[in-house]
Chain A
Amino acid sequence: MAQRVVAIIAALVVAGLVIGPVTAVLWRGGGFTTLSAADLSALQFTVWQAFWSAVISVALAIPVARALARRSFWGRSVLISIMGAPFILPVIVAILGLLSVFGGNGFVNLVLEPLSVPKLDIYGSHGVILAHVFFNLPLAVRLILQGWLAIPSERFRVAASLAAPVFWLLEWPMLRRIVPGAFAVIFVICIGSFAVALTLGGGPKATTVELAIYQAFKFDFDLSKAASLAVVQLCLGLGAGLIALLLARGDMLGAGFDRVVQRWDGSRLLDATWIGLATLFLMAPLLAIFIAGLAGLFDLPIGIWGAASRSFLISLGAVALTMALALPLATKAGEAASLLGLSVSGLVLGTGMFLIVQPYVQPSSVALPVTMLVNVLMALPFVLRILRPGVDSARVDFGRLGQSLGLRGWALWRIVYLPRLRRPMGFAAGLTGALAMGDLGVITLFSRPGQGTLPMAMYQLMGAYQMEAAYGAALLLVMLSLGLFWVFDKGGRAHAVV
């Protein structure tokens, strides 16, 4: 009972933090506006690219995750950690990295040139989808890999000894349970795409709803339109969440011995190919970013360190708050509700929070806490997607045992659930921290000098022509984010009993 109350409170907090600001902007703007033809075509493109980005990310992630689940090799855990990096890169950095591989003068074209093959042109809808797959494939791989690792290993042994079809019997039901949620999260992330769609889309054909919001806010100061478009985003996100809930069927497999066991099935060559291709695709742009940033890294301006430490604090704060909200929210309904925060434009959220706090305090004095809060809202859907399967199986597998032993409340969590959730919790915390570190976020709306974050400083350096220093700052950002990610992720796995 007490648990349900906590869950309801957490859900209300999340919904309030999203709906409150949107309502504030809507109210200030004087209600809804009808959308123009240009808005509708932007909406169409937004949904189209988000759908295909999510489909392709998830489709490619399945064989990669299976390969990683089946094989153990030297450097596997480091590879899995670093593979997460694209997801946490600041957008512009990722774009520049991708372009040094796939761009006009990129590596791929350098190789193709002597072969007299037509040049690869990355700009266009395919470029947008390529970039979104680059960002989201790692997330999809990790989400699905978790599903694989959660299948009780004895089942594979039994299936092997009976010569039963492993895929249909064991893996398909797991995929049916995991994939719709992964698809929904990635779809919703891509709904909010802005700079990626614009830069790699090659022009106004690739206009997304987020650009229309930006224009409405920045140039037209049309808050009514900004809020109306944000509500459209909300509906898309909520719709995706509900569809995922309906599709995510498939029975739990029941408990095993609760320990990992090695596998021996599957083709070694096929697995190696998938892992190799994914590594190449994800690592090549990262390597380019590393090389570009190295020169600037050693003479970064002093001010960078203050910005870096502020980003670090925001990041830790976001992790703590996200985890505190996520544990009670780890239910079906909680997960669907959390998609609200991710689907709605950060610009509208930030503006709404500005309107709400403005009568009481100078908004720039709360710029950092507000940035942190927005990051929490954005991270929650990932975190819940990561935690839910684990929480569900722990509940099904050990809930009755716990009950029969009279474990309740905190004791039940401490003894039964949390030890089983260490791996997903570590991963979720790492992801939240890294995301919050790299997010440019709402702080650009209202701030004061000496309060900036690291991504903000990076953009400022770019704006002041200091590209080399900016790339250095980007590399520092990547290293800090990855470092934080690695510490949490590793912390989660190191002593995990399962």
Chain B
Amino acid sequence: MKTTLITVTGLLFGTAALADGHTPVLTVYAPDYFGSEWGPGPSIEAAFEERCECDLQYQTGDLLPRLLLEGARTEADVAIGFNSDITKQARDSGMFAPHGLDLSPLTLPIDWNDDTFLPFNYGHTAFIYDNTKLDGFDSFEALLNAPDDVRIVIQDPRSSISGLALVLWVQAVYGDEAEAAWLRLAPKIVTVTQGWSESYGLFTDGEADVVLSYTTSPAYHIIAEDDLTKSAAIFEEGHYFMVELAAKLATTDQPDLADEFMAFILTEEFQTMIPTTNWSFPAALPVEQWPEGFQDLPMPETVFFYDENEAAALRDTAIEAWRSALSQ
């Protein structure tokens, strides 16, 4: 038994990658989905290593908790994949350095002047439905007025970033009336899941008619599956805007490489990889250069966006309105 144990431990440890002593290593922290072989990470790594003569290594996991746990001791040079609704805590930690980049290439639907957190993709929260079964909803009001047998599945704002975006969205549309709006929506909500994947699985399995996801979700079905039956309901009140961000660590031991990577994010090469690997809109690419399935996606005319301070201030109120209405 002892030998087995040693062998096994050896095998497990042995799989850890060993960095070559000569090539400089750029350590990039990213969420699990980003670094996985089915996310945007691998192609971005390959493209960057072409130009930097370095070794880009991802470390994946819960981005912010991990960085805060490690503090100044972190080996991260760059962190990519923050959500704007929770960057206040990241900024307050003082762990990040200004990127020093010209932001004019950005093509976001809102103005962005942050000198530390750099957008690399965006999307909007939206309700997705099967257009062969439902007519869709042209406003939040229409969704609230829908018959109670329409089955909606959403994510929990306490455990999921898209769930959090939803409660902020409701807050933006209904303000003080948010709880009343949730009460009208409540009978239609079949269930609330821990994360996006569980919800989306319930939707594709036919357990729900409508799922909280993103305006870009239909693009996956159109491009990867040739399936035109999934649509995002575009609401006239507007949609909540979600942006993913990258930042350079103040403690990086590879400042030049980190700067180079940050600049790489805004390049056409990086941006053209985003749509079909991350299934979201690129943050700095004119619409004409988007892949076909993306160009045709219906876009909301109005976008709501709370900056990190507003989001932090409203968060508890918005979650409480949701919790209290859905607990009744």
Q: Is B200 an interface residue (CB 8 A)?
A: yes
* B322 proximal to A (CB < 8 A): yes
Given A217-B65, A452-B36, A464-B33 in contact, is the A104-B12 Cβ separation under 8 Å? Answer: no
Q: Is the CB of A221 within 8 A of B5?
A: no
Residues of chain A within 8 A of B13, CB atoms compared:
365-366, 368-369
A465 touches B200 (CB 8 A): yes
Q: Is A273 an interface residue (CB 8 A)?
A: no
In the complex, the answer to whether B65 meets A221 with C-beta atoms within 8 Å is: yes
For chain A, residues 411 to 457, give those with C-beta under 8 angstroms from any C-beta of chain B: 444-452, 456-457
Check A99–B38 contact: CB distance below 8 A.
Answer: no
A316 to B4, CA, bound (A): 9
Q: Which of A10-18, A79-87, A175-183, A197-205 contacts the other chain?
A: A197-205
Smallest CB separation, B306 vs chain A (Å): 15
Q: Provide the bound-state CA to CA distance between A99 and B191, in Å.
A: 12
User: What residues on B are CB-neighbors of A358 within 8 Å?
Assistant: 69-70, 73
Contact with A along B170-212 (1 / 0, CB 8 A): 0000000000000000100111111011101110111110000
Contact among B39, B66, B89, B221 for A445, CB-based, below 8 A: B66
Known contacts A195-B198, A320-B8; decide if A445 and B1 are in contact (CB<8 Å): no
Q: Which of A194-225 contact B (CB under 8 A)?
A: 194-195, 198-205, 211, 214-215, 217-219, 221
A444 to B57, CA, bound (A): 17
Point out the residues of chain A lying under 8 angstroms from B70, CB to CB: 358
With a cutoff of 8 Å between Cβ atoms, the chain A residues found around residue B323 in the complex are 38, 204
Q: CB-nearest residue of chain B relative to A318?
A: B8
A103 to B202, alpha carbons, bound, how many Å? 10
Contact of B15 among A202, A451, A464 (CB under 8 A): A451
Instruction: Tell me, yes or no, whether A461 is within 8 Å of chain B by CB.
Output: yes
Q: Which of B15, B17, B73, B208 has the most CB of A within 10 A?
A: B15
- State whether the Cβ of A123 lies closer than 8 Å to any Cβ in chain B: yes
The chain A residue sitting closest to B58, CB to CB, is A449
Which of B12, B66, B217 is close to A368, meaning CB atoms less than 8 Å apart? Answer: B12
| Interface residue ranges of B1-54 to A (CB < 8 Å) | 1, 4-5, 8-9, 11-13, 15-17, 32-33, 35-39, 41-42
Contacts of A377 in B (CB 8 A): none
Q: Which residues of A contact B62 (CB under 8 A)?
A: 217-218, 444-445
- Interface contact A194-B194, CB-CB below 8 Å: yes
Determine whether A96 belongs to the interface, using a CB cutoff of 8 Å to chain B: yes
Contact A317 to B8, CB < 8 A, known contacts A221-B64, A446-B61: yes
Q: In the assembled complex, which residues on chain B have CB atoms less than 8 Å from the CB atom of A190?
A: none
Contact B4 A320, beta carbon cutoff 8 Å: yes
Query: Nearest chain B CB to A133's CB is how many angstroms away?
Result: 19
Query: Contacts A194-B194, A198-B192, A372-B12 hold; do A460 and B38 have CB atoms under 8 A apart?
Result: yes
Task: Count A-B pairs with CB separation below 8 Å.
Answer: 197
Given A202-B192, A445-B61, is A467 in contact with B200 using a C-beta cutoff of 8 Å? yes
B159 touches A218 (CB 8 A): yes
A466 in the interface, Cβ–Cβ < 8 Å? yes
Chain A residues within an 8 Å CB radius of B197:
92, 459, 462-463
CB of B64 to closest CB in A, whole Å: 7
Say if the beta carbon of B151 comes within 8 Å of chain A: yes
Contact with B along A308-330 (1 / 0, CB 8 A): 00100110110011011000000
- B87 adjacent to chain A (CB < 8 Å): no
**Quick check: A96 and B205 within 8 Å, CB to CB?**
yes
- Please pick, from A96, A201, A317, A359, the residue contacting B12 in the complex, using a CB distance under 8 A: A317
- A449 near B35 with CB under 8 A, answer yes
Of chain B, the residue at the smallest CB distance from A359 is B73
B68 to chain A minimum Cβ distance, whole angstroms, is: 5
Chain B: minimal CB distance from A351 (Å): 7
The complex places the Cα of A28 from the Cα of B164 at a distance, in Å, of: 27
Whether A375 is near chain B, meaning CB under 8 Å from some CB there, is no
Asked whether any CB of chain A lies closer than 8 Å to the CB of B326, the reply is: yes
Instruction: Choose among A100, A198, A310, A324 the residue that contacts B193 (Cβ–Cβ < 8 A).
Output: A198
Q: How far apart are the CA atoms of A355 and B66 in the complex, in Å?
A: 10
Given that A324-B1, A446-B59, A447-B60 are known contacts, is A214 also in contact with B33, CB under 8 Å in the complex? no
Cβ A203 vs Cβ B192 within 8 A: yes
The docked-state distance in angstroms from the alpha carbon of A359 to that of B69 is 11
From known contacts A203-B327, A449-B35, A462-B197, infer whether A362 and B75 are also in contact, taking CB-CB under 8 Å.
yes
Q: How far is the CA of A175 from the CA of B226 in the complex (A)?
A: 58
Those of A102-157 within 8 Å (CB) of chain B: 103-105, 123
| Residue A303 interfacial (CB < 8 Å) | yes
Residues of B within 8 A of A198 (CB): 156, 159, 191-194
Residue of B nearest to A471 (CB): B201
In the complex, the answer to whether A123 meets B196 with C-beta atoms within 8 Å is no
Would you call A465 and B8 a contact (CB within 8 A)?
Answer: no
Known: A105-B207, A444-B32, A466-B38. A202 touches B190 (CB 8 A): yes
Chain A residues whose C-beta falls within 8 Å of the C-beta of B33 in the assembled complex: 460, 463-464
B158 / chain A contacts, CB cutoff of 8 Å: 211, 214-215, 219
- Is B86 in the interface zone, CB < 8 Å from A? yes
Point out the residue from A320, A355, A359, A460 that lies within 8 Å of B5, measured CB to CB.
Answer: A320
Q: Does A23 contact B (CB under 8 A)?
A: no
Instruction: State whether A313 touches B8 (Cβ < 8 A).
Output: yes
A354 contacts the other chain (CB 8 A):
yes
Is A393 an interface residue when CB atoms closer than 8 A count as contact?
no
Query: Cβ of B220 < 8 Å from any Cβ of A?
Result: yes
Closest CB in chain A relative to B186 CB, distance in Å: 8
Q: How far is the CB of B83 from chain A (nearest CB, A)?
A: 10
List 16 other contacts, CB 8 Å, given A358-B70, A444-B32: A92-B198, A104-B208, A200-B191, A203-B189, A203-B191, A310-B12, A320-B8, A359-B73, A366-B13, A445-B66, A446-B59, A448-B58, A449-B36, A467-B200, A467-B201, A467-B204
List, sorted by A's number, 25 A–B pairs whose CB atoms are closer than 8 Å: A95-B198, A104-B208, A195-B194, A199-B198, A202-B191, A203-B191, A203-B192, A204-B326, A211-B156, A217-B62, A219-B159, A219-B164, A221-B68, A317-B5, A324-B1, A355-B69, A369-B13, A372-B12, A445-B65, A446-B59, A448-B35, A448-B58, A456-B32, A460-B37, A463-B36
Leading 8 A-B pairs by shortest Cβ distance: A464-B38, A462-B197, A460-B36, A317-B8, A215-B158, A365-B16, A203-B326, A449-B35
List the interface of chain B (C-beta within 8 A of A): 1, 4-5, 8-9, 11-13, 15-17, 32-33, 35-39, 41-42, 57-62, 64-66, 68-70, 73, 75, 86, 89, 151, 156, 158-159, 164, 186, 189-194, 196-198, 200-202, 204-208, 217, 220-221, 224, 279, 322-323, 326-327
